[in-house]
Amino acid sequence: MNPITRVAVVGGTHGNELTGIYLVKKFEQLPHLIRRSSFESLTLLANPKAYELRRRYVENDLNRCFRQQDLEDPHLRSYEALQAKKIYRDLTTGKTWERGLLIDLHSTTANMGITIILNRQHPFNLHLAAHLAVVYPDLKFYRWDQDDHDSPFLRSIYPFGCAIEVGPIAQGVLNVTLFQQTEALIYTILDYIEAYNRGQLFPTKETLTVYQCVQTIDYPRDETGTLQAMIHPQLQSKDYEPLHPGDPMFLTFEGETIVYAGETVCYPVFINEAAYYEKGIAMSLTQKEELALD
C-alpha cells in the first residue's frame, strides 16, 4: 500500500465561484480543520486576480490551461497561462506531490446537486468515489473524456483527486447549505485518506454509477452566434434525469419546441450553466454507466 502523501484543497480556480474560495479562506484561518497526521495538507486560491474582479477569469479560463504542452510553451503569456505555470511549479515542488491528491472546488448554476468530477480512472480514485457514494447516497459522479490524457484541468496536476461541483448557485453568491455540504464532503475525503494511509479498509460497493459525457450540445444560434432558443421549460433544472428521443430540449423565442434528436436515452447535466454560453455548451449529454470496482 502506497500512502497518499499530500492533499491540496484548491478554490477559486474560477474567480466568481465563492463556495470554494470561502472554504479555502476558512482553511487558511483554521488549518487544523484539514490537517491529518499521515499526509501534508495545503490550500490554494488559484486565480486571485479573477476573484478580485469577481470574474470567472481575467484573460482565459484557468481550468483549461494545464495541458503539458501549454505549460511548457514559453509563448503563452496570458495572466492565466502564467498563473497555471506558477501553480504547476508550486504544487510539484518537493517529493510528496508524486502521490498527491487534489480537490478542486467549483460551483455551477445548473441544478446538479453535489457532483464529483472524477479525475483519472485510477483504482484509488474509484474506491474513494465508491466510499463517498456509500456515505452520501445522493452524490453524483461525472466524467469528461478529457480527463484521461493530457487533461487541461487543474485537478490533473496530481494523480489522485477530483473536482467537486455544487449547484444550483449563481456566480458570485454563497449558499450556506451548499457551503456546509461541500465542507463535510472534504472532511470525509480527508478522513478516508487518513484511514487508507493507516491500512484501514472500508466496506465498499461492487460498482459505481458514473455519468460519462458523450457529447455536448450548443444552443441553436444564427450565423452571428445569436441565440435562437432557450432551454425548454420541461428540461430546465432536470439535470441527471433521463431525456428520451423526441423529448423537448429548446424553445425558440417564437415558442417553437426543438426536440432531442438522438436515438438513445441520455442524461443531460450542466443544463443552462452560465459559464458555458461562451463555450458553446447548452448542456452535456451523458450515458449512465456502472463501473466495476476491482
**If binding is defined by CB under 5 A, does position 155 make contact with Zn ion?**
no
In angstroms, give the least distance from the CB of 283 to Zn ion.
Answer: 16
2-21 footprint of Zn ion as x/- string (CB under 5 A): ------------x--x----
User: CB under 8 Å, gap of 24 or more: what pairs does 45-48 form?
Assistant: 45/11, 45/12, 45/21, 46/10, 46/11, 46/12, 46/13, 46/83, 46/87, 46/104, 46/154, 47/12, 47/13, 47/14, 47/15, 47/80, 47/83, 48/12, 48/15
Q: Whole-number minimum distance, CB 49 to Zn ion, in Å?
A: 16
Among 6, 106, 140, 155, which residue interacts with Zn ion (rule: CB under 5 A)?
106
**Whose Cβ is closer to Zn ion: residue 157's or residue 243's?**
157
Least Å distance, CB 106 to Zn ion, is: 3
119: phi then psi, degrees, rounded to nearest 5: -75, -150
Of 5, 1, 23, residue with least CA distance to 182:
23
Rounded Cα distance between 27 and 23, Å, is 6
- Shortest spacing between CB 115 and Zn ion, in angstroms: 12
# chain residues binding Zn ion, by CB under 5 A: 3
Nearer to Zn ion, 153 or 196 (CB): 153
Nearer of residues 12 and 127 to Zn ion, judged by Cβ: 12
In this complex, which beta carbon is closest to Zn ion, that of residue 167 or of residue 208? 167
Our CB check for Zn ion shows the closer of 85 and 106 to be 106
Neighbours of 245 (CB within 10 A): 12
> 51 or 250: whose CB is closer to Zn ion?
51
User: By C-beta, is 5 or 151 nearer to Zn ion?
Assistant: 151
The Cα–Cα gap between 103 and 117 comes to 10
Smallest separation, CB 110 to Zn ion (Å): 11
Which 61-90 residues touch Zn ion, going by CB under 5 A? none
Rounded CA-CA distance 236/270 in Å is 10
**Which strands make up the sheet holding 140-143, listed edge to edge?**
40-45, 6-11, 100-107, 160-167, 113-118, 140-143, 207-217, 283-292, 267-269
Q: Determine the interface stretch with Zn ion among 86-94, 106-114, 127-135, 205-213 (rule: CB under 5 A).
A: 106-114
Least Å from the CB of residue 107 to Zn ion: 7
CB of 163: closest distance to Zn ion in angstroms?
Answer: 8
Nearer to Zn ion, 18 or 249 (CB): 18
- Four-residue CA torsion sign, 184, 202, 40, 68: negative
**Residue closest to Zn ion (Cβ):** 106
DSSP 18: H
Candidate segments 71-79, 105-113, 232-240, 251-259, binder of Zn ion by CB under 5 A: 105-113
What's the closest the beta carbon of residue 294 comes to Zn ion, in angstroms? 31
- Please say whether the beta carbons of 106 and 20 come within 8 A: yes
For the chain, give percent helix, strand, coil, nearest 5.
30, 25, 40
Interface contacts to Zn ion, rule CB under 5 A: 14, 17, 106
